[in-house]
Amino acid sequence: MSLRSRLIAAFVAVFVLLGVSSVVVTLVQRSYLMGQVDQQLTNLTPAAGAVISRLANNATRPNAQSALQSEFSEFYIGRVAPDGRMQTFVAPVSDPELVPELPTVPVYGTPLTVRTSGGSVNRVRIIETRLNDGSISIFGVSMSATEAAIRRLIITEGIASLIVLSVMGLVVFWVVRLGIRPIRRMTEAADAISAGSIDTRVDVPSDGTEAARLGHALNTMIDTTRATETRLRQFVSDASHELRTPLTTLRGYTALYEAGGFERKEDLDDAMRRMGNEAARMGRIVDDLLLLAKLDEHGAPAPEPVELGGVLRDLASDITVVQPGRPVSVECPEPVIALIDRDHLTQTITAFTTNALRYTDATAEIILRASVSKGRARVEVSDRGPGIVEADLPRLFDRFYRADSGRSRAAGGNGLGLAIVASIISSNHGTYGVNSVVGLGSTFWFELPTAPNS
């Protein structure tokens, strides 16, 4: 059952409960009032003969009769003679023409309600008592006061119920309008997204309610899902493209060999060398993809304290071996110890230095720095190369992204090195980035937590 149906069911239940409560209260109150009337009539029953005698004996004495009528001003008092004639002695002051219609068979000692044949009220409560002379005394009380009280109670209950139901109706309307209706639209949007429509968005109300915040969160999730799916498609496309190139080369050389295109040994040796290079390149791509998948699923291995200065000096020596004429310097005035797996640290800095070697002239200086600031260890790799245009900076760490795809592929890059850096540093609770000015050079950096007491 939906929340809206539950609210409507609760409203109906309250309506029924109010109705039943009103009926019960009315019946209880009516029973109480009728009990009071019956008590008055029952109290007169033992003295019925005496009262009738007094009224009959003083019928010709106006003063005494007036006193008796004043004493019984709210009662009807009469007598039915043995011959069936009915005589009225006292009628209520409020309804002096009141005459009850007596039942065909007398009911002695038990109050009952009968209709009237005269007067302004329709019903009267009477009690009949048989007297010693064979006549029947009739004592009655008008039901007008009791019925008026019951009517007032019913009106009060009706007004109170109407107020309660109106307030509940407004609350239900408010909840449905501000809560359930937006949630229903969000549910429909979620169903549409599940069906594959990732362009669906939710109209978010601007009222600051929980539904509005949920709508903002859902739209954010939709945008994130859309961006993730776009990146996934791009990733699959780029990965397929990167793997297709070496595979195409391998198939081409294989087909050429089968066609007898390598008649000279030198040509065959060159083809095998090229095939080996392409296979190695494809292997590096697969290895990098597997590493990224491992980092995404399991995160980085347990960190260990690593002294950054020694690592930077070792990498500077490697650069000198690869390019002896390249100026390289290390700036690490004090020991800097970071928490990270040593192999991952070396791989991260190597990705920076490899880019610097690949995209700068052999005479451009490379500077490796390590420092500590606010409890974070910072590593920078700066070069004096051509720099990177500002539009490319936000996407440099995306997978398979190249600022200059043609040059990168020719130089042997696959667009995964900086993506691996981003994954490694993020898995170790670090941050990373790049600062670059066209014509002046670039600085790639990352920061990591330092070892305790370092």
- Report domain 3-150's class: alpha beta
Whether 381 and 352 have beta carbons less than 8 Å apart is answered as yes
Through-space distance between the first and last CA atoms of the chain, rounded to whole angstroms: 61
pLDDT at residue 11, rounded to an integer: 82
> Which stretch of 152-166, 264-278, 398-412 has the lowest confidence by average pLDDT?
398-412
Integer Cα distance of 204 and 216 in angstroms: 7
Q: Count the Cβ atoms, other than its own, within 10 Å of residue 291.
A: 17
Segment 76-98 mean pLDDT: 87
Segment 330-348 mean pLDDT: 91
Output phi, psi for 71, to 5 deg. -70, -35
Segment 345-351 mean pLDDT: 92
Segment 114-126 mean pLDDT: 88
For residues 34 and 280, which has the higher predicted lDDT (pLDDT)?
34
Residues of each domain in the chain carrying CATH 1.10.287.130: 210-296
CATH of 210-296, one of 3.30.365.10, 3.40.50.10490, 1.10.287.130, 1.10.3720.10: 1.10.287.130
For residues 283 and 372, which has the higher predicted lDDT (pLDDT)?
372
Examine the pLDDT at 407 and tell me if it is beyond 60.
no
Q: For tokens 């009706």, what's the residue?
A: 158
pLDDT at residue 62, rounded to an integer: 64
Summarised one tens digit per residue, pLDDT across range 228-237 is 777 777 767 7
For residues 330 and 206, which has the higher predicted lDDT (pLDDT)?
330
For residues 156 and 203, which has the higher predicted lDDT (pLDDT)?
156
Mean confidence (pLDDT) of the chain:
83
Pick the closest to residue 340 from 214, 429, 207 (CA basis): 429
Q: Which amino acid is at 300?
A: A
Integer Cα distance of 273 and 253 in angstroms: 11
Residues of each domain in the chain carrying CATH 3.30.450: 3-150
Integer Cα distance of 30 and 28 in angstroms: 5
Examine the pLDDT at 274 and tell me if it is beyond 90.
no
**Topology (CATH level 3) of domain 300-449:** Heat Shock Protein 90 (3.30.565)
Q: Count the Cβ atoms, other than its own, within 10 Å of residue 96.
A: 14
Q: How would you list the strands of the sheet with 99-100, edge to edge?
A: 86-90, 75-80, 136-142, 123-130, 112-118, 99-100
Radius of gyration of the chain (CA): 51
> Which stretch of 293-307, 316-330, 334-348 has the lowest confidence by average pLDDT?
293-307
Summarised one tens digit per residue, pLDDT across range 156-202 is 989 998 998 888 888 877 777 766 777 777 777 777 777 777 677 77
Examine the pLDDT at 279 and tell me if it is beyond 80.
yes
Residue length of the chain: 454
pLDDT at residue 308, rounded to an integer: 94
Segment 325-340 mean pLDDT: 92
- Cβ neighbours of residue 299 closer than 8 Å, sequence gap 6 or more: 427
pLDDT at residue 413, rounded to an integer: 61
Examine the pLDDT at 440 and tell me if it is beyond 70.
yes
Question: Residues of the chain with pLDDT > 90: what percent?
Answer: 25
pLDDT band at 69; cut points 50, 70, 90: low
CA distances from 388 to 27, 48, 350, 379 (A): 90, 119, 19, 19
Q: Count the Cβ atoms, other than its own, within 10 Å of residue 451.
A: 17
Q: For tokens 């390249």, what's the residue?
A: 326
pLDDT at residue 406, rounded to an integer: 43
Examine the pLDDT at 76 and tell me if it is beyond 70.
yes
pLDDT at residue 208, rounded to an integer: 64
Q: Regarding beta strands 366-373 and 328-331, do their DSSP bridges make them parallel or antiparallel, or are they unpaired?
A: parallel
pLDDT at residue 250, rounded to an integer: 84
Residue-wise DSSP of 80-99 = E-TTS-EEEEE--TT-TT-E
Q: Count the Cβ atoms, other than its own, within 10 Å of residue 424.
A: 26
Residues of each domain in the chain carrying CATH 3.30.565.10: 300-449
3-state secondary structure at position 454: coil
Integer Cα distance of 115 and 125 in angstroms: 9
pLDDT at residue 410, rounded to an integer: 46
Segment 113-129 mean pLDDT: 89
CA distances from 325 to 229, 313, 365, 366, 420 (A): 46, 17, 10, 12, 29
For residues 70 and 423, which has the higher predicted lDDT (pLDDT)?
423
Pick the closest to residue 334 from 307, 355, 360, 361 (CA basis): 307
For residues 73 and 418, which has the higher predicted lDDT (pLDDT)?
418
pLDDT at residue 133, rounded to an integer: 85
For residues 315 and 291, which has the higher predicted lDDT (pLDDT)?
315
Segment 54-67 mean pLDDT: 67
Integer Cα distance of 354 and 289 in angstroms: 18
Q: Count the Cβ atoms, other than its own, within 10 Å of residue 445.
A: 16
